[in-house]
Amino acid sequence: MDLFSVVAEWFPYLVEGILVTVGLVASALIIGACLGLPMAIGQVYGSRPLKYVIGLYVWFFRGLPVLVLLFMFYFTIFPLLNLDLDAFFVGATVLGLRGAAYQSQIFRGAIQSISEGQMTAARSLGMSRAAAIRTIIIPQAVRIALPGWSNEYPNILTDSAICYAIGVAELLTRTSQIVTQTYITMPIYILCALMFIMLNFAGMRVIAYLEKRVAIPGFSGGGQAGIV
Amino acid sequence: MSENKTDYILRVEDIHKTYGDAEVLKGVSFNVRKGDTIVFIGPSGTGKSTLLRCINQLTVPDSGRVWLHDEEVTNSGKKINRFRQKIGMVFQNFYLFDHLTAIKNVEIALIKVKGMSPEAAREKALYELRQVGMEDFADHYPAELSGGQAQRVSIARALAMEPDVILFDEPTSALDPELTREVLEVMRKLALEGMTMLVVTHEMGFARSVATEIVFMESGVIQEIGTPAEVFGDGGGFERIRSFMGKIGDLSGD
Q: What is the mean pLDDT of residues B201-205?
A: 92
Q: Which helix (H) or strand (E) holds B41?
A: strand B37-41
pLDDT digits (tens, 9 = 90+) for B66-120: 999 989 999 999 899 999 999 999 999 999 999 999 999 999 999 999 999 999 9
pLDDT of residue B211: 96
Q: Which of A71-85, A126-140, A165-179, A211-225 has the lowest mean pLDDT?
A: A211-225
Sign of CA dihedral B25, B30, B31, B36: negative
- pLDDT surpassing 90 at residue B50: yes
Long-range contacts of the stretch A208-211 (C-beta < 8 A, 24+): A208/A150, A210/A146, A211/A146, A211/A147, A211/A150
Answer yes or no: do B112 and A131 touch at CB < 8 A: yes
Domain ranges of chain A: 2-224
Q: What is the mean pLDDT of residues B212-221?
A: 94
- Chain A: give the shortest CA distance to residue B253, in Å: 30
Short-list B48, B120, B55, CA closest to B89: B55
Q: Residue B200 in 3-state DSSP?
A: strand
Residues of chain B with C-beta less than 8 angstroms from the C-beta of A123: 58, 84
Residues of chain B with C-beta less than 8 angstroms from the C-beta of A139: 99
Which of A113, A116, A118, A124 best probes binding to B when mutated, by most B CB atoms within 10 angstroms? A124
Residues of chain A with C-beta less than 8 angstroms from the C-beta of B97: 118, 121-122, 136, 140
B89 touches chain A (CB under 8 A): yes
**pTM over 0.80, yes/no:** yes
HSE (side-chain half, CA atoms, 13 Å) at B115: 1
Q: What is the mean pLDDT of residues B207-212?
A: 94
Query: What is the helix, strand, coil percentage profile of chain B, to 5?
Result: 45, 25, 35
Answer yes or no: do A219 and B84 touch at CB < 8 A: no
Residues of chain A with C-beta less than 8 angstroms from the C-beta of B141: 216-219
| Pairs of CB atoms within 8 A across A/B | 82
CATH architecture designation of domain A2-224: Orthogonal Bundle (1.10)
Name the residue among A115, A123, A140 with its Cβ closest to that of B99: A140
- pLDDT surpassing 80 at residue B248: no
- pLDDT surpassing 60 at residue B244: yes
Query: What CA–CA distance (Å, rounded) separates A121 from A117?
Result: 6
Cα B234–B239–B240 angle (5° rounding)?
140
pLDDT of residue B44: 87
Answer yes or no: do B91 and A121 touch at CB < 8 A: yes
Sign of CA dihedral B50, B201, B110, B106: negative
- pLDDT surpassing 60 at residue A192: yes
Mean pLDDT estimate for chain A: 92
Q: Quickly state the pLDDT bin for A227 (edges 50, 70, 90).
A: very low
Q: What is the mean pLDDT of residues B143-170?
A: 97
Name the residue among A118, A143, A218 with its Cβ closest to that of B97: A118
Short-list B227, B213, B247, B219, CA closest to B39: B213
Answer yes or no: do B112 and A121 touch at CB < 8 A: no
* Residues of chain B above pLDDT 90, percent: 83
- pLDDT surpassing 50 at residue B127: yes
pLDDT digits (tens, 9 = 90+) for A85-125: 899 999 999 999 999 999 999 999 999 999 999 999 999 99
Question: ipTM of this model?
Answer: 0.92
154-213 of B, contacting A, C-beta below 8 A: 154, 157-158, 161
β-pairing verdict for B197-200 and B63-68: unpaired
- pLDDT surpassing 90 at residue B45: no
- pLDDT surpassing 80 at residue A148: yes
The CA R_g of chain A, rounded to the nearest whole Å, is 21
Q: What is the mean pLDDT of residues B174-195?
A: 95
Residue in chain A closest to B110 (alpha carbons) equals: A125
Alpha-carbon torsion, ordered A72, A76, A81, A85, to 10 deg: 70
Answer yes or no: do B109 and A217 touch at CB < 8 A: no
Q: What is the mean pLDDT of residues B17-33?
A: 95
Measured CB to CB, residues of chain A less than 8 Å from chain B are 115, 117-118, 120-128, 131, 135-136, 139-140, 143, 216-219, 224-226
pLDDT of residue B242: 81
- pLDDT surpassing 80 at residue B251: no
- pLDDT surpassing 60 at residue A226: no
β-pairing verdict for B22-33 and B37-41: unpaired
pLDDT of residue A218: 65
Mean pLDDT estimate for chain B: 92
Residues of chain B with C-beta less than 8 angstroms from the C-beta of A217: 141, 143-144
* Residues with Cβ within 8 Å of residue A5, at least 6 apart in sequence: none
More confident residue, B235 or B87: B87
State the CB neighbour count (10 A cutoff) for residue B81.
18
pLDDT of residue B243: 82
